[in-house]
Amino acid sequence: MHKYKYEKYYFINVFDTNLIKYQDKDTNIIYRNYKTEIDVKKILILKDFCKKKGCKFYLSNNIKLALKLNLDGVYIPSFNKDFSHLSYNLKKKFRLLGSAHSIKEIRIKEKQGIKSIFLSSIFKKNQNYLGIYKFKLIKNFTKSKIIALGGITNENLKTLNLINVSGYSGITFFKKKGPLKKGPLNILNSK
């Protein structure tokens, strides 16, 4: 059986370094909070904390600020259908991430220049629920990297091998009370 090295993305919505303290350096952090105004000082502290840990740090839905603060990139949610960022002078290593829930939204993300698309929801039964078969079908309509989103758990992590995704993302999956331990979960990411 092949062992996969997945890209991992952890969505956080509060300023708390304890949320990311025990993540490994391969876990990318996306700060996503649409309810409160962005505090630049806190973003800079999170950026520095992630840099010390070796994690990449992305800001959601604010390309100008992400560029100004020299972050690793930006996450553009599915509801953002704006193309104005295409006129910006992006740095070579600046990454554009985005989410989609349908083929139509995938096409919009491709036109926005998104290279890694978070397709949701694969496991979590919410309004955007796709399930495994529909997820696989929609995934085949793009050549972009696909990141699985929605309901990822230790139990269904192995299923991602069958779907051939580039990575996975979530919130509750990454909430750990202590340091990461070697075991069945981390076998996939250890090499």
Q: pLDDT tens-digit profile of 80-139?
A: 999 988 888 888 899 999 999 999 999 999 999 999 999 988 898 888 888 889 999 999
Which of these, 67, 69, 77, lies nearest to 13 by C-alpha position? 77
| CA 61 – CA 179 distance, rounded (Å) | 30
What CATH number is attached to the domain comprising 125?
3.20.20.70
pLDDT for the residue numbered 153 = 87
Whether 170 is in a domain gets the answer yes
Instruction: Report the distance separating Cα 135 and Cα 9, nearest Å.
Output: 18
> Is residue 68 included in any domain, yes or no?
yes
Mean pLDDT of the chain: 86
Give the domain extent around 144.
Answer: 7-84+92-187
The residue that leads in pLDDT, 191 or 73, is: 73
- pLDDT tens for 156-173 read 888 888 888 999 998 888
Mean pLDDT over 142-161 rounds to 89
Residue 133 domain flag: yes
| 126 within a domain of the structure (yes/no) | yes
pLDDT (0 to 100) of residue 4: 60
Name the domain count of the chain: 1
Q: Which one is predicted more confidently, 184 or 7?
A: 7
62 - beta bridge partners?
none
In a domain, residue 1? The reply is no
Residue 188 has pLDDT above 70, yes or no: no
Rounded CA separation 157/145 (Å): 18
Is residue 56 a part of any domain in this protein?
yes
Using 50, 70 and 90 to split pLDDT, how confident is the model at 27? very high
How much is the pTM?
A: 0.86
CA distance 173 to 101: 20
Task: State percent of the chain over pLDDT 70.
Answer: 90
The pLDDT score that the predictor gives to residue 185 is: 41
